[in-house]
Chains A and B, each alone.
Chain A
Amino acid sequence: LAKTTQPISMDSYEGQEVNITCSHNNIATNDYITWYQQFPSQGPRFIIQGYKTKVTNEVASLFIPADRKSSTLSLPRVSLSDTAVYYCLVVRNAGNNRKLIWGLGTSLAVNP
């Protein structure tokens, strides 16, 4: 059964680096990994996406090891405004096996 697993919650302090790991043991060859961020009373919004190794943009980095069974979202030097829920998503589009495999979300609290 395809599944993505991530921690329910994390705490951090302003200025620290935060790493959130998502486990996707049954990831398939053509699956990509995407992370979304959601603030209260808003819909999720795209942060970063990757297939393997490392991807970096202006907001975050995404580390994916060679076996691709997990991925780690890295937020450098977090601020209070990074307090949000972070979702990991694996998209499977393989013939008749089409599925969006969402994690349950990690609630990140950044403290002063």
Chain B
Amino acid sequence: DVKVTQSSRYLVKRTGEKVFLECVQDMDHENMFWYRQDPGLGLRLIYFSYDVKMKEKGDIPEGYSVSREKKERFSLILESASTNQTSMYLCASSFSVGLSGTDTQYFGPGTRLTVL
């Protein structure tokens, strides 16, 4: 069974802290994605990666960076957390290399991050 796991379901951090959100997939997928989800704004893509060490900016990359050193693991980094980064963060993976219309994304359960 397909599985995407995220390191924490809930996380509370303070303004200015460096925050790491980890995502692991066990499906040997090429693509991995990081989204944030806020009420009324739907899913917004932060970054995606189509290969190890490769990344592309999504719609809202400002204030975030990512790291993909191994195929199965994709990390989202908040260099200096701010209160406006309080949100639900969702990780996903998919089979294809790059964006494909016929691809299916598999999502993790999400991390609810609160920045105080």
List B residues 73-109 near A (Cβ within 8 Å): 90-92, 98-109
- Name A's interface SS: strand
Whether A43 contacts B42 by the Cβ 8 Å rule is no
Whether A98 contacts B56 by the Cβ 8 Å rule is yes
Contacts of A93 in B (CB 8 A): 98-101
* A63 in the interface (beta carbon within 8 A): no
* A34 in the interface (beta carbon within 8 A): yes
Whether A41 contacts B99 by the Cβ 8 Å rule is no
Given A87-B43, A100-B45, A102-B43: A42 touches B109 (CB 8 Å cut-off): yes
Chain A residues close to B by CB (< 8 Å): 30-32, 34, 36, 41-46, 49, 51, 87, 91-93, 98-100, 102-105
Closest 5 CB pairs of A and B: A43-B107, A32-B101, A104-B42, A93-B99, A91-B101
